[in-house]
C-alpha cells in the first residue's frame, strides 16, 4: 500500500478513517522539513478522491490523482506560509 517508506501505519490509519467515514474535515500536517508532510497530504487527497475506490491502491492516473499531483484539484486547498514575507 505504501508509497512512502515508514508511513505505512499512517496510510492504514487514514484509510481506515475514510472507510468508517470518520476522517475529520480539516487536517493539519506539521513538523520539520523533509519528513513527508506534503507527500502524505497529497496521498491522502488521492486516497479520498481516486476513481479506483477505497479498497484498491491509489491509481495515480485518473483525473483526480493527476489534479492533486499538480495542485489543481478544486476540492483540495493547500495552506502554507506567505511566500512574500
Mind listing the pLDDT tens digit for each residue in 9-64? 888 999 999 999 999 988 888 889 888 889 999 999 999 999 998 889 999 999 99
Q: Per residue in 28-52, is it b (16+ CB within 10 Å) or e — as a string?
A: eeeeeeeebeeebbbbbbbbbbbeb
3, 43 Cβ separation under 8 angstroms:
yes
4, 42 Cβ separation under 8 angstroms:
no
Indicate yes or no: pTM above 0.85: no
The answer, yes or no, to whether residue 1 has pLDDT greater than 50, is no
What is the C-alpha to C-alpha distance for residues 75 and 43, in angstroms, rounded to an integer? 14
Amino acid at each position: 500500500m505504501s508509497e512512502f517508506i515508514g508511513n505505512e501505519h499512517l496510510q492504514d490509519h487514514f484509510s481506515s478513517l475514510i472507510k468508517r467515514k470518520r476522517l475529520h474535515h480539516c487536517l493539519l500536517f506539521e513538523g520539520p522539513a523533509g519528513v513527508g508532510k506534503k507527500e502524505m497530504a497529497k496521498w491522502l487527497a488521492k486516497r479520498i478522491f481516486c476513481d479506483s475506490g477505497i479498497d484498491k491502491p491509489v491509481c495515480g492516473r485518473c483525473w483526480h490523482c493527476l489534479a492533486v499531483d499538480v495542485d489543481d484539484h478544486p476540492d483540495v486547498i493547500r495552506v502554507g506560509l506567505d511566500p512574500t514575507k
